[in-house]
Structure 1
Amino acid sequence: MYVVESKGGAIACMLLALFFLGTWPAIITLLERRGRLPQHTYLDYTITNLLAAVVIALTFGQIGDSTVDRPNFFTQLSQDNWSSVLFAMAGGVVLSLGNLSTQYAWAFVGLSVVEVISSSMTVVIGTTMNYFLDDKINKAEILFPGVGCFLVAVCLASAVHSSNVADNKAKLSRFPIDNKSEKGTVLSSAPEAVISKDQEKGDGPVGKAKAGTATFLIELEKRRSIKVFGKSMFIGLTLTFFAGVCFSLFSPAFNLATNDQWRTLKDGVPKLAVYSAFFYFSVSCFVIALILNISFLYHPALGVPKSSFKAYLNDWNGRWWAFLAGFLCGFGNGLQFMGGQAAGYAAADAVQALPLVSTFWGVILFGEYRRSSRRTYILLFCMLFMFVAAVGVLMGSSGHRK
């Protein structure tokens, strides 16, 4: 079994996890904005998410000789460690519920805002729990100022969202005038031809409308699978806060599974290795996602069109992107746990600065904040600067597990 033992290796794991975990939400959002049903996307995503855990377990979990203190993956499958397994599976359940909630929340509230709210709740609640579960191996004088940086960034993110909403309202209020003045800018009454283009070719997310214009916003609403115009933002915020609570619990649950702080294992039974725990974690995540999304095919939520399992199997439009998202999430979580086992799970929660990456993709892929006011741009810069500071401070708090 391969074990990350150096602080440098742990930080490398966290940085790579930060990129992976910040990128997969952008891919899922892109598919939804192109009209692919969220049930189809999530079913594809959850398959490769589980596959990533299997790959990690069969490679890193099997490297080297199996010892009493460091048993390999196959050795642990037959050991009496079910109390730790249940903690790992509980973590997978709450993560699956959180990810499923954010998939719908992204459409209502926006990628950047959902990520900063859910990440801040994870840092404030989950990081504090991990600090005490890890027997305070992280430097408190550095760790908690890092938590404070996240809170400041969240306040700035709320201001960014408020300013951007005001900008969009102003654009839409001027739309009849702008639409007449822009030659060649016409709202298509039948955008199906555009929607049916192969999504793997990298076509623009919304026809030929310029990002940030009222035409862009209206065409986006026509194409996307989750319709949001005229619906209360309270729906999205409720989903976001629910996801934040789920995300704040899955890392402490995984921590308990691998370190047995509550002494639930019998004497002589080795602690669950991070790779074994991640396998059980991902299995429960997969089962919950499978049950809920097959149910949503026939009984969809929030006005999403009804589908069927046969329609899902035949829907290859965007499937490879969904597979990629699952791999990124799976390997991202695995790297986070590998880094946390070495440097402390509180420090590994630095990957909750993933809104840095998500905001970058939101601006590049979706045209978020294009043609916005100067106030929005200033707030956006301040938010990103504070997130950078938060990542650095939390990583600087990392200790070394004995």
Structure 2
Amino acid sequence: MYVVESKGGAIACMLLALFLLGTWPAVLTMLERRGRLPQHTYLDYSITNFLAAVLIALTFGQIGSSTPDMPNFITQLSQDNWPCVLFAMVGGIVLSLGNLASQYAFALVGLSVTEVITASITVVIGTVLNYFLDGKINRADILFPGVACFLIAVCLGSAVHSSNAADNKVKLDSLPSDKKGGEKALQEIPNKDGLKDLESGNGSAEKANFGTADFLVQLENQRAIKVFGKRNFIGLAITFFAGACFSLFSPAFNLATNDQWHTLKEGVPLLVVYTAFFYFSLSCFFLGIILNITFLYHPVLGLPKTSFKAYLKDWDGRGWALLAGLICGFGNGLQFMGGQAAGYAAADAVQALPLVSTFWGILIFGEYRKSSRRTYVLLMGMLVMFIAAVAILMASSGHRS
């Protein structure tokens, strides 16, 4: 199999994973803003997310001959390694719960702030756990200042959300009462196809500008998850739950591939990263499918009830949802490949993915347009902390013997 061995190769994997993992949430956000039900989107996403793990296992995991110490992917499927397999599957379960929660948080809190808070919680908890699980191969004098930068970013991210929510309230209060709450009739953009171009700029020339009160009302009418009238606490609670889930998947994967708790029988080789990633993605897939089929018939947050038959017929945006699953799957795979070589604590540098998500949020969705100076100052402070954090965490990379 192909194994990343050099520090440079590990950093290259982490940088590519950083871009991919920061991009797929923007695709899900785009679909929700265009009115596609998140249950439909996540079912499509789950399929290709698992497919990416299978492709990685059957290619990188099968390159070269198998050895007793490092068996190839298919060889290892029949070995007695179930204790470590269960750790990998637990990691997949918590990641699936985190991804599922975050797609609702994207709508309620915003793409940028959701990614900042969840990624920062992941680093503060997950990186500390990985540091000790990896036998302290990362430099603590560099690693923990990076963790501190993420902790500061959590506080700044929460402040950005509160400040931006206050800005939006001021904008909406300037409208007549009959235009609030998403009840405005859209004479300028009368059909669903026109609404889809709200962010891309390809719709009617009469559409509202980014950041204006009219834009917020038009977006509310279009999107699948209605946010007007929802309390900020609900979105932040979902966001913190997602962050707690994300903080556990990497340590669980670390235990699966390195067996620090000595659960394997003597003579049984450790799970290679590709086998662990396959089982990790398998549990992620099944949980995502089960929960989202349940949400079809028992939706949350006021979403309309739908059905599996309606999902099968919903091809509107399916290609984007399938692409998001592939992007996320390959991003996770590259993160684990880099982490196995340089230490999973250093690989948590990919949690600086809000740098990428914030770029997409501002460029595509017009987040923070026409906001107050206070919001802009907090936003810049948040991004500066993330830039510092990713640089510091990568500098702490060690080398696993």
Q: TM-score, normalised by structure 1?
A: 0.94
Report what 2:372 is aligned to: 373
Displacement of 1:379 after TM fit?
Answer: 2.0
Report what 1:322 is aligned to: 321
Report what 1:212 is aligned to: 211
SS of the aligned residue for 2:120 comes to: helix
Distance 2:195 2:158 in 1: 36
Distance 1:347 1:240 in 2: 24
* CA RMSD between the two structures: 2.0
SS of the aligned residue for 1:262 comes to: coil
Report what 1:164 is aligned to: 164
1:237 aligned to 2:236? Answer: yes
Alignment map for 1:258-337 (pairs within 5 Å): 258-337=257-336
Report what 1:5 is aligned to: 5
Distance 2:316 2:269 in 1: 46
Displacement of 1:126 after TM fit?
Answer: 0.5
Per-residue CA deviations over 1:179-227 (Å, capped at 9, x if unaligned) read 9xxxxxx953478853235969984498621000000001111111111
1:391 aligned to 2:382? Answer: no
Amino acid at match of 1:317: D
Distance 2:263 2:194 in 1: 54
**Pair 386,197 (structure 1): closer, same or farther in 2 beyond 3 Å:** same
Alignment map for 1:86-97 (pairs within 5 Å): 86-97=86-97
Whether the 8 Å CA contact 1:206–1:220 is kept in 2: the answer is no
Displacement of 1:158 after TM fit?
Answer: 2.2
Distance 1:201 1:64 in 2: 50
Alignment map for 1:3-402 (pairs within 5 Å): 3-176=3-176, 187-189=184-186, 193-196=190-193, 203-204=200-201, 208-402=207-401
Amino acid at match of 2:240: F
Distance 1:342 1:43 in 2: 32
Distance 2:341 2:202 in 1: 41
Whether the 8 Å CA contact 2:62–2:72 is kept in 1: the answer is yes
Whether the 8 Å CA contact 2:138–2:397 is kept in 1: the answer is yes
For structure 2, the residue ranges without an aligned partner over 5 or more in a row are none
What's the % identity of the aligned pairs? 73
Distance 1:329 1:118 in 2: 16
SS of the aligned residue for 2:191 comes to: helix
Q: TM-score, normalised by structure 2?
A: 0.95
SS of the aligned residue for 1:12 comes to: helix
Distance 1:160 1:246 in 2: 23
Distance 2:215 2:199 in 1: 17
Displacement of 1:159 after TM fit?
Answer: 2.3
Whether the 8 Å CA contact 2:93–2:287 is kept in 1: the answer is yes
Whether the 8 Å CA contact 2:138–2:346 is kept in 1: the answer is yes
Amino acid at match of 1:4: V
Whether the 8 Å CA contact 1:199–1:318 is kept in 2: the answer is no
Amino acid at match of 2:388: A
Whether the 8 Å CA contact 1:191–1:223 is kept in 2: the answer is no
**Pair 296,205 (structure 1): closer, same or farther in 2 beyond 3 Å:** farther
Per-residue CA deviations over 1:333-353 (Å, capped at 9, x if unaligned) read 000000000000000001111
Distance 2:364 2:176 in 1: 26
Per-residue CA deviations over 1:339-385 (Å, capped at 9, x if unaligned) read 00000000000111111111111001110011112222222222111
**Pair 161,198 (structure 1): closer, same or farther in 2 beyond 3 Å:** closer
Report what 1:182 is aligned to: none
Per-residue CA deviations over 1:288-322 (Å, capped at 9, x if unaligned) read 00001111111111111111111111111100100
Distance 1:246 1:172 in 2: 34
Q: How many residues align?
A: 395
Amino acid at match of 1:263: H
Whether the 8 Å CA contact 2:20–2:330 is kept in 1: the answer is yes
Per-residue CA deviations over 1:39-97 (Å, capped at 9, x if unaligned) read 00000000000000000000000011111111100100111101110000010011001
**Pair 206,155 (structure 1): closer, same or farther in 2 beyond 3 Å:** farther
Amino acid at match of 1:329: C
For structure 1, the residue ranges without an aligned partner over 5 or more in a row are 180-185
Distance 1:139 1:224 in 2: 46
SS of the aligned residue for 1:196 comes to: helix
**Pair 199,45 (structure 1): closer, same or farther in 2 beyond 3 Å:** farther
Distance 2:349 2:141 in 1: 16
**Pair 211,153 (structure 1): closer, same or farther in 2 beyond 3 Å:** same
**Pair 94,206 (structure 1): closer, same or farther in 2 beyond 3 Å:** farther
Displacement of 1:163 after TM fit?
Answer: 2.0
Amino acid at match of 1:150: F
Distance 1:213 1:164 in 2: 13
Report what 1:183 is aligned to: none
Whether the 8 Å CA contact 1:34–1:205 is kept in 2: the answer is no
Displacement of 1:229 after TM fit?
Answer: 0.8
Per-residue CA deviations over 1:6-33 (Å, capped at 9, x if unaligned) read 0000001111111111111111011001
